Chains A and B, each alone.
Chain A
């Protein structure tokens, strides 16, 4: 997927002014924030579960090579194939090769952010393979030629009127606006594609080392069709998604849907292990797993390593006031919100995503809701440090920071300057004590007045009160 993160500011401003998007984001907040809070009521031991989940994820990262090799061995033992992809190009090459190897012409996909990350659809289409997204949200986006704006609810930025228009245009059927009717229409369109497909591509919420399984959680059932009906199943996921055992994964599953959508469990939890056996009635004849690095291993052993614990629940963005106001597209790549603010610069490069780690108030809501205890604000701060070290911040900001730090380390000078500043700003505030426009603080005064200071600093007044 194309990285458009450099346009963050412009896109954020556009989205703030987009009333339809604002209504959609309001619904997202109502639905997911409330649902999560309610779902956690069933988990009296949430704090301990969260500790345990973070510990499992961290343990796996500490021994990532071991568990990945174990996973590979188990997949092979069950007749499947594991492919290792160092970057997006490798993923594209592998997927096309697998399609050619099995003479696959038609592919159905269930939702996968890693395939968005690696632009798998484009590669397959360029190789002459027809690709059909079958997750309802992803299907809508495929029709609209848009990227997802949320990792769990990819089409959250659209309303049902938009969907009705798209369907009417592409399906050439009478326009319907009822949600149930729209869903039925999508089902009718998609069903023949499931039946005709040669190859199904899915992501994996987890891959399980002890059994060589790929696990996916879905609500629509398309994931199960896409992974069991076609002759070939290809699961594509990041190397960090490996989990040692089924027990571990069952613990993580207590947290994932609750954190994501507020469900105690998703409608479908599919554990996909190897190709169809001699006595199985259905299932794919060939089972491939592509394990994707694409920059992940470079985070191991660094301050950013905790980001690899992420289980892609989306709770951080659902609870982020900045995401709630600007939506996912402003972030300019596959992963929006606080997790994207860390992951995007880490995977595509700091210079490509200059705004993301900075566009956070550090309110900490993301870190509080994260089911695997990723200290997201701390990781964003780490990226800010690196930006400054690499001279990636604007010169005016660097100069201001230098001046401030230099003065603040000289208490006498600082006292003098603040005393002058307090007087000047006080005068600018006029009778009402409000400054409507302030040079160098246009960001503040564009949407807010600046309350003028009282005119004398605390330091001055305090000194005046001391007996001589």
Chain B
């Protein structure tokens, strides 16, 4: 489908102006690991790192990064969100690009930081040079040969913020098509919310679990061996519901894990 019809129109999100980089030196990419990947599945961070390096970037991982502030922002605590946003902006000041293995956190930096922090050229510049991982690897610094070795049928869940705030739809599929062993089987309604919604999953667990259940039904009907997505929050919710339904077979993988690894549990290089 034409992704633009289902995205917020161009003026709703920040324009895609690429940061000016000097082509003679290596592109310096700051990896914002995200708090969920840091705590829950560090492998995703290492896979992202490996993919960015494979694409030719010099990757730095600022050490004092914690969280983008989205939980506070969406819970109405703008003071906390602003403080965390300023920290993050400072941490990534020296990077040509900020790349995030999450559409939700990338959307926070790209779309919401300028609203949260007001009219500040530094914020606008950071927003403009922030990319979701697959968006970056498909459009800014193309990764022609992902090293992933996964073989099997997969289905792709389009996480909401990446899809609707950043227009991430074709980018992961473009990259997946470069893996010879991967067969993409689209599930019905890949763009329907999985029900995670950050703190929503805790506050309204019953509604959240129902939406996750609807997603699991579509995943299982697709006949895929693995469900793949770009946001760990959604993936944890989907995996949790799949297992509770008794499905111990369907693998749940972040796209970075698929593009970089063999889909096994070994850490990425």
Interface residues of A (CB under 8 A from B): 9, 12-13, 16, 40, 46-47, 50-51, 321-322, 325-326, 358-365, 367-368, 373, 375, 381, 384-389, 393, 397, 401-402, 404-405, 408-409, 411, 414, 418, 421-422, 432, 434, 441-451, 453-454, 456-459, 461-463
Contact = CB atoms under 8 A, between A and B. Distances in A.
Contacts of A442: 205
Contacts of A360: 197, 200
Contacts of A326: 207
B40 A401 contact: no
B205 A364 contact: no
Given A361-B200, A459-B63, A450 B9 contact: no
A364 B77 contact: no
B74 A384 contact: yes
Given A13-B206, A362-B198, 9 more contacts: A50-B9, A321-B211, A322-B207, A361-B197, A362-B160, A386-B76, A443-B202, A451-B40, A462-B42
B8 A12 contact: no
A367 B208 contact: no
B249 interface: no
Given A443-B201, A446-B206, A456-B42, A451 B193 contact: no
B240 A451 contact: yes
Contacts of A361: 160, 193, 195-198, 200, 208, 211
Contacts of B75: 384, 388, 393, 397, 401
B258 interface: no
A364 B103 CA distance: 13
A46 to B, nearest CB: 8
Given A364-B8, A441-B202, A454-B41, A449 B240 contact: yes
Contacts of A387: 76
A385 B76 contact: yes
B14 to A, nearest CB: 15
20 contacts: A361-B193, A361-B200, A364-B164, A373-B12, A384-B76, A393-B75, A401-B75, A408-B66, A411-B64, A421-B39, A442-B205, A447-B210, A448-B212, A448-B241, A448-B244, A449-B244, A450-B236, A458-B33, A459-B38, A462-B45
A458 B244 contact: no
A363 B193 contact: yes
B80 A454 contact: no
B197 A422 contact: no
Contact of B38 (A40, A401, A409, A418): A418
B192 A321 contact: yes
B195 A458 contact: no
Given A384-B75, A386-B76, A444 B202 contact: yes
B132 interface: no
